[in-house]
Amino acid sequence: MAFQSKCTFQIGDAVEVCYNSEGFLGSYWEATIVANMGTNYLVEYKHFVEEHDESTPLRETVKVKEVRPLPPNIVPSRYSSLKGQRVDAFLNDVWWVGTISRKIDSDYYVVFFENTGEEIACPLSKLRFHMNWVNEQWVPSMKKRAPVSSKRFAPYSLKGRREQLSAL
């Protein structure tokens, strides 16, 4: 999921970091540039804090190629045909890349995450169309048919799931 970033970001710029370590492949973390160190940036994450001091935002040194500007937040319409569309889903304070596999109702869609093989019901308000940062431009992701998963979302738990998701 790494990409080439030719942009030079300034201190204070809002960015996303493509986090590719195990368990986080295909995730984008919102951050702010704290320092430009040539081939690396020091970033401060928007939604995460230091383990030893929860009042201190988490800071980390990341490679320049793992940083991109914030993408346009193009929210899918409840009236759109979204099956097979690549989206980013905001779950646990991180944007995760997935593919819409089906619609539950006008406000909830099931998103398949290729990296984990899981499907999760997501409210439309927590989805945005996936965009790729290519040659300093935002390019819409191509539609892709969702593969079949062995870990299907169970529709019978929708009522409880909505209550859990409304907290997101």
Cα dist from 63 to 1, 4, 138, whole Å: 13, 10, 20
As a whole number, mean pLDDT of residues 46-72 equals 92
Report CA-CA distances (Å) from 158 to 108, 123, 154.
10, 11, 8
Handedness of CA 159, 149, 119, 151 (dihedral sign): positive
Answer with the residue of higher pLDDT: 89 or 148: 89
pLDDT in tens, 107-151: 899 999 988 899 999 999 999 999 998 888 899 887 554 444 444
78 pLDDT higher than 70: no
